[in-house]
């Protein structure tokens, strides 16, 4: 099966530009980063978007949208020229803005005015967006910070491959961790663990030409390579070896 050559060997960099910006210190408790994507495609391009446990506030073509956590990959068609400005909230830290369990917007995109009201920023620049966020800034919520810390630990500790390990590490029951994630992160802890372990695959693809897939599957906590490949394809829409072509 043939594929779009613009997918291969990071060729997308010839057509897209990505920038990531840090928030001001008073907003780091809620915001992980800002991002800007711009593109220029003469022919439509099917952009694969892989999920992370972040809620995003995006601004595009005069519209503002809140995007909940997606449980699987998405495809968005990019064509012509355009750009998007986004706010990536720390996992767990959008709950105080939403005022409801974050799981209620999983796999959903909603008009931002339903969360923030009609007075959205007039210009899409970091300074104006941060002024807007400061006006919306909710009261501190220790459980949001707890959820964010657990997700950060999962992300940075590759030996964590099971929910019960998370529960023991934080002195909680498995059920308590699951309830916290449903309320604050918007998706279950098992999914978050799987996502960050699979993220390690893309990190290795960036840094090495060849990967021993069977060995890597075991390192990531999978019983066998078949289970690993199934989870990978569900998350990324492609088999590991097919996806690897994007980096080579």
| pLDDT for residue 208 is more than 80 | no
User: For 114-124, what is the mean pLDDT?
Assistant: 92
User: For 61-79, what is the mean pLDDT?
Assistant: 94
Q: Same domain for 110 and 183?
A: no
Q: Same domain for 188 and 74?
A: no
* Structure token pair of residue 201: 């695959």
Residue 163 has a pLDDT of: 97
Burial of 97 (0-12, 13-18, 19+ CB in 10 A): buried
Which residues are CB-contacts of 94 (< 8 A; sequence separation ≥ 6)?
Answer: 30, 55, 102, 186
Per mean pLDDT, which range of 75-84, 194-203, 239-248 is the poorest?
239-248
Residue 12 has a pLDDT of: 87
* CATH code, domain carrying 164: 1.10.10.60
Which residues are CB-contacts of 114 (< 8 A; sequence separation ≥ 6)?
Answer: 66
Residue 15 has a pLDDT of: 96
| pLDDT for residue 1 is more than 60 | no
Give the pLDDT band (50/70/90) at residue 200: confident
**Alpha carbon distance 223, 160 (integer Å):** 15
Distances (CA, A) of 47 to 8, 16, 236: 12, 11, 12
Structural domains of the chain, count: 2
Query: Which of 103, 32, 110, 96 minimizes the C-alpha distance to 67?
Result: 110
* Structure token pair of residue 73: 């990959």
Residue 185 has a pLDDT of: 98
Q: Is residue 58 within 8 Å of 85, Cβ to Cβ?
A: yes
The residue among 140, 160, 186 that closes a domain is: 140
Q: Over the stretch 147-169, which tens digit does the pLDDT of each residue have? A: 999 999 999 999 999 999 999 99
Phi, psi of 108 (to 5 degrees): -125, 155
3-state secondary structure of 44: strand
Query: Which of 246, 22, 52, 23 minimizes the C-alpha distance to 155?
Result: 52
Residue 203 has a pLDDT of: 84
Q: Same domain for 86 and 208?
A: no
Q: 169 lies in which domain range?
A: 143-244
User: For 131-142, what is the mean pLDDT?
Assistant: 95
Q: Over the stretch 73-97, which tens digit does the pLDDT of each residue have? A: 999 999 999 999 999 999 999 999 9
């Amino acid at each position: 099966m043939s594929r779009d050559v613009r997918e291969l060997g990071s060729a997308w960099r010839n057509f897209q530009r990505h920038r990531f910006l840090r928030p001001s210190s008073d907003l780091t408790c809620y915001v992980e980063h800002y991002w800007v994507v711009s593109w220029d495609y003469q022919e439509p391009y099917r952009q694969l978007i892989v999920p992370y446990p972040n809620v995003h506030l995006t601004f595009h073509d005069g519209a503002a949208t809140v995007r909940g956590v997606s449980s699987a990959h998405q495809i968005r068609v990019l064509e012509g020229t355009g750009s998007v400005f986004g706010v990536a909230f720390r996992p767990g830290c959008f709950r105080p803005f939403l005022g409801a369990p974050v799981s209620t917007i999983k796999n959903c995109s909603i008009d931002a005015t339903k969360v923030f009201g009609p007075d959205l920023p007039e210009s899409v620049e970091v300074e104006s967006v941060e002024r807007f966020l400061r006006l919306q800034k909710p009261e501190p919520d220790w459980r949001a910070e707890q959820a964010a810390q657990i997700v950060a630990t999962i992300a940075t500790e590759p030996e964590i491959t099971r929910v019960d390990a998370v529960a023991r590490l934080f002195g909680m029951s498995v059920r308590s961790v699951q309830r916290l994630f449903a309320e604050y992160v918007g998706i279950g802890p098992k999914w978050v663990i799987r996502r960050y372990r699979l993220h390690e695959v893309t990190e290795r693809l960036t840094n090495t030409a060849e990967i021993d897939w069977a060995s890597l599957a075991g390192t990531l906590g999978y019983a066998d390579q078949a289970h690993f490949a199934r989870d990978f394809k569900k998350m990324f829409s492609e088999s590991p070896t097919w996806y690897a072509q994007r980096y080579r």
